[in-house]
A and B are shown apart, each in its own frame.
Chain A
Amino acid sequence: DAGITQSPRHKVTETGTPVTLRCHQTENHRYMYWYRQDPGHGLRLIHYSYGVKDTDKGEVSDGYSVSRSKTEDFLLTLESATSSQTSVYFCAISDGGGSYNEQFFGPGTRLTVL
């Protein structure tokens, strides 16, 4: 199994509070991704990173920011959480290289915004 951990695994917070989710990998993979999973939508990409300090937006990036100061860590921040951001958040990693891009997923973080 790919060495990916996410913390916290569960979090309950209140509307308007900032929240930071952490993804940590031990695989030294270049690419890291944040997805959210909601019923009926599969997974949708929020942001991704293609190297330290290099990030870009995904399909549902509004209300989220990310940072990557080290290869192994990718942080997702909700600056002011809203109830619509209640979801399960997954981090993924890939080694990339040419057209090969198999992504491996972490265990997920269940976030509830009250």
Chain B
Amino acid sequence: GIQVEQSPPDLILQEGANSTLRCNFSDSVNNLQWFHQNPWGQLINLFYIPSGTKQNGRLSATTVATERYSLLYISSSQTTDSGVYFCAVDPTDSWGKLQFGAGTQVVVTP
């Protein structure tokens, strides 16, 4: 099956810093989603981004499907950005069966 790798596995940031999270996948996909899991365990949809670039406030994401990767940018980080960021892909050959990466644990310190 498709492999989804996220890097880095852990990230410690000082408040106000910028960062880039990466998601690589091994096969073609129908779509890709980024989620934020907050410290209370809730999964929050950040982006639905099969290709191209989207922005939402201080967050933006870019997916280059032909090169099989996606990037999530966090600018001017805040303590509320802490948590785990997951990317999940919907493989072309198994529609609807999201395959998650292992996540990037982000800690933003004051």
B-binding residues in A (CB < 8 A): 31, 33, 35, 40-45, 48, 50, 58-59, 88, 90, 92, 94, 96, 99-105, 107-108
Contact = CB atoms under 8 A, between A and B. Distances in A.
Given A42-B102, A43-B88, A58-B97, A102 B48 contact: yes
A12 B92 CA distance: 38
Interface in B1-20: 1, 4
B101 A94 contact: no
20 contacts: A31-B96, A33-B96, A35-B98, A40-B102, A41-B102, A42-B86, A42-B100, A42-B102, A43-B98, A44-B100, A59-B1, A88-B41, A100-B31, A101-B96, A102-B45, A102-B48, A103-B98, A105-B42, A107-B41, A108-B43
A90 B96 CA distance: 15
A55 B69 CA distance: 31
Contacts of B81: none
Contacts of A107: 41-42
Q: Which of A42, A92, A105 has the most CB of B within 10 A?
A: A42
Contacts of A50: 96
B33 A102 contact: yes
A108 B41 contact: yes
A96 B45 contact: no
Contacts of A59: 1, 97
A88 B43 CA distance: 12
A96 B96 contact: yes
A101 B86 contact: no
B103 interface: yes
Contacts of B88: 42-43, 103
A31 B97 CA distance: 11
Given A40-B102, A42-B102, A102-B45, A94 B31 contact: no
